[in-house]
């Protein structure tokens, strides 16, 4: 019955002024014009700017951006007015907000990377770990790019705890090293050499684990 959202309607009192903001400042493409309306295509849902005599109801739009500070300054230079400056939220986002000339809110946001959180997430562990083993794994995982670190944390913790169950032992530094190596795809294990050496661990002592299929 329903096919999805095709348009978001933004009432404006000056169509050309709104077009300059969305097209020239924000950079979205103009896709269609009609009598008293203009479609702006950001690549997902079309924004339809509709000319009205007066704004009866203001709206809020949330835009995903690469750099919140740069986008915020660009909108201010393009005629928008600040509502609040860029800031970080408890939801691990960076956001800022401006008003367009008609008073509509434009929220700029991006998700913070794990390196920007200001804290190190706990390991998703279930068994017993020695503190030095847990600390070692956290330091080793810090070498994983932030985009992939959450997945690596889950997989590596799971493999290490599997090794601990097989050994009928709490998780030790030795099990962490073995699990850290074998949890990685064999073709990419060469990337683990430097992080291990940075911890004073000789990778040659774990050649069997590096060769594990």
Domain with CATH 3.10.180.10 in the chain: 7-112
The DSSP line for the chain is ------EEEEEES-HHHHHIIIIIIS-PEEEEEETTEEEEE-SSSEEEEEE-SS-SS--EEEEE-S-HHHHHHHHHHTT-EEEEEEEE-TTSEEEEEEE-TTS-EEEEEEEPPGGGSSSPPPP---S-B-HHHHHHHHHHHTTS-HHHHHHHHHHHHHHHHHHHHHHTS-B-HHHHHHHHHHTS-GGGGGGGHHHHHHTT--GGGGHHHHT--
Q: Render pLDDT for 162-180 as a digit per residue (tens, 0 to 9).
A: 999 999 999 999 999 999 9
pLDDT confidence of residue 4: 86
pLDDT (tens digit per residue) in 74-119: 999 999 999 999 999 999 999 999 999 999 999 999 999 999 998 8
Name the fold adopted by 7-112.
2,3-Dihydroxybiphenyl 1,2-Dioxygenase; domain 1 (3.10.180)
């Amino acid at each position: 019955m329903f096919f999805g959202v095709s348009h978001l309607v933004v009432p404006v009192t000056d169509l050309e002024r709104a077009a300059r903001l969305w097209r020239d400042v924000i950079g979205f493409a103009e896709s269609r014009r009609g009598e008293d309306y203009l479609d702006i295509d950001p690549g997902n849902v079309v924004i339809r700017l509709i000319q009205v005599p007066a704004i009866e109801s203001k709206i809020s739009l949330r835009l995903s951006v690469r750099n919140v500070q740069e986008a915020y300054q660009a909108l201010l230079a393009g005629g928008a007015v600040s509502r609040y400056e860029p800031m970080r939220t408890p939801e691990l986002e960076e956001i800022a907000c401006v008003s367009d000339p008609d008073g509509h809110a434009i929220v700029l946001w991006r998700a913070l990377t794990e390196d920007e959180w200001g804290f190190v997430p706990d390991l998703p562990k279930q068994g017993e770990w020695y503190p030095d083993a847990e600390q070692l794994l956290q330091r080793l995982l810090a070498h994983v790019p932030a985009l992939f670190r959450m997945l690596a944390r889950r997989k590596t913790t799971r493999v290490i705890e599997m090794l601990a169950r097989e050994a009928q032992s709490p998780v030790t530094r030795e099990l962490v090293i073995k699990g850290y190596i074998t949890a990685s795809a064999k073709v990419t294990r060469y990337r683990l050499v430097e992080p291990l050496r940075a911890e004073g661990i000789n990778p040659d002592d774990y050649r069997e684990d590096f060769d594990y299929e």
